[in-house]
Amino acid sequence: MGDSGRIHFGTSGWRAIIADEFTFENVRLVTQAIARTVKTGRRIPGLIVGYDTRFLSEQFARCCAGVLAAANIKVLLTNRDTPTPVIAFHIINKQLSGGINFTASHNPPEYNGIKFSPAYGGPAPQEVTSEIERNIAVLRAAAWQPGAVKDADSLITTFDPRQEYLKRMRSLVDLKTIKKAKMKIAVDCLYGTSRGYIDSLLEGQCRTLTMFNDYPNPLFGGFPPEPDVHYIPKMITHVRRNAFHLGLACDGDADRFGIVDRGGFFLTPNEVFTLLFYYLLRHRGKAAKVARTLATTHMIDAIARAEGVEVIETPVGFKYIGEALHQGDCLIGGEESGGLSIQGHVPEKDGILACLLIAEMVAREKKSLRDILNSLYKRYGYFYSGRINVRVTPEEKEALLERLKKLVRQETFAGIAITKKNFTDGYKLIFAENCWVMFRPSGTEPVVRCYFEADSKRKLAHLHKQVVAFIRG
């Protein structure tokens, strides 16, 4: 069979451009590799297969289901586009061997992807994705082709995943408190899978509920389906002009969140994670641990230190947060890129849950999110975070990697004394007074991701300037 490039599973599965590398041929190949990985010579309970609103996602999912059935694997195929956290919930709830979701999450519309989650419900760890990649290589070397199997359709069951998940959300979120607050809330589904989920849960619980982009559109309005300040301008304007209490958004597969406060102010994922960590500590009882990635705000540490909670610092990627949550003694886990989940729920990002918990928080506290955040700053210290993605040429990237390696021996960065270094995933330099920078060159793109945090906006601007100067050499 043809080889249209190496198929690589990153932190959130395999993604590629539709009709270039993301083809039906490669979907069949990857599905068969997953089937081999999951079965390993034994009978299994089956897999759930879902899809998002991208071009051909449903057809890719049906193709995948056919390959799994031909491999004598039972398939639960969702009856419509489905959020990633809903797939995760049903893997655990139905005690399945895993799930496959056809989604490229918040990537631009020309991309699609395959996200595989094993039996524990979270993102597949590296040892699993490495085995899938090895099986892909074996199948390619053997020129594998899918074969027809009689009665394969008898192994495929189509089902509606919504009601059981909605029931679960009603047990995790205090909708009665939201209803009492009589809030005005706007929701932007970004043409993705969250429609019929957030709105169904908030209907009848708000004084006013206004929906944006709550229908499928594989072009996503011409922008990536990312709940970022740049891609939800209409909702932000609506919240500001109409004195709404909140604006809530999810990305294409509803595993990431975007939050807009009263007055039309967009909150960063770091701020949202901080707020929910504090809120859950206050209203859901004490917990032993909280998990965050290396690139996530240290304000989590400040709160945890004051409240006697252990911080688990993980490499970048929610699969590491998911593993921490799976242990069972972690109250909440999150990352600066807009993903979080909580104890007792799925070890996978859930943007729907994050949005609803923020609504509960505002309803209970009867304050704006910025007012609550300012009170936390006064209590635990000030933390201002920044992030930039810098595109570099191959030559620039090679030169940068050489400069980064030299940081191992340096005691200062841009004239600032380094108090601690962490090179487990990227290059993180920690200074005094709640300040740090982190460089993380992408392994697959000509991009360097840079993160920085300081205890004042002036220092943050200085770090930003020094980070850019360092990258450019």
For each of the chain's 473 residues, which pLDDT tens digit applies?
444 568 988 777 899 999 999 999 999 999 999 999 998 767 789 999 999 999 999 999 999 999 999 999 999 999 999 999 999 999 999 999 999 999 999 999 999 999 999 999 999 999 999 999 999 999 999 999 887 766 777 899 999 999 999 999 999 999 999 999 999 999 999 999 999 999 999 999 999 999 999 999 999 999 999 999 999 999 999 999 999 999 999 999 999 999 999 999 999 999 999 999 999 999 987 778 999 999 999 999 999 999 999 999 999 999 999 999 998 889 999 999 999 999 999 999 999 999 999 999 999 999 999 999 999 999 999 999 999 998 888 888 889 989 999 998 899 998 889 999 999 999 999 998 889 999 998 766 788 999 999 999 999 999 999 999 998 87
Taking only the tens place, the pLDDT of each residue in 400-458 is 989 999 998 899 998 889 999 999 999 999 998 889 999 998 766 788 999 999 999 99
Determine how many CB atoms are found less than 10 A away from the CB of residue 455. Answer: 18
Rounded-to-5 percentages of helix, strand, coil across the chain: 40, 25, 40
Element at 270 (helix H, strand E): helix 269-283
- Superfamily of domain 163-266+350-365 in CATH is Alpha-D-Glucose-1,6-Bisphosphate, subunit A, domain 3 (3.40.120.10)
d(CA 352, CA 349): 9
pLDDT digit string, tens, across residues 159-177 = 999 999 999 999 999 999 9
Using CA atoms, how far residue 268 sits from 296, 297, 472, in Å, is: 11, 11, 26
Question: Reading across the β-sheet that carries 420-422, which strands appear in turn?
Answer: 384-391, 447-454, 436-441, 427-430, 420-422
CATH topology of domain 14-160: Alpha-D-Glucose-1,6-Bisphosphate; Chain A, domain 3 (3.40.120)
CATH 3.30.310.50 matches 384-472: yes
Report the C-alpha gap between 342 and 272 in whole angstroms.
13
**pTM as predicted:** 0.95
163-266+350-365 and 268-347: same fold? Answer: yes
Only one residue has tokens 């089956």, namely 46
Sorted by where each begins, the domain ranges of the chain are 14-160, 163-266+350-365, 268-347, 384-472
Q: What is the CATH number of domain 268-347?
A: 3.40.120.10
Residue 40: its pLDDT value, please?
79
CB contact burial 230-248 (16+ within 10 A = b; e otherwise):
ebbeebbebbbeeebbbbb
pLDDT digits (tens, 9 = 90+) for 249-306: 999 999 999 999 999 999 999 999 999 999 999 998 777 899 999 999 999 999 999 9
Token pair in block for residue 259:
């939050």
Tell me which residue of 443, 446, 445 sits closest to 426, measured CA to CA.
Answer: 443
Compute the distance between CA of residue 315 and CA of residue 424 in angstroms, rounded to an integer.
Answer: 7
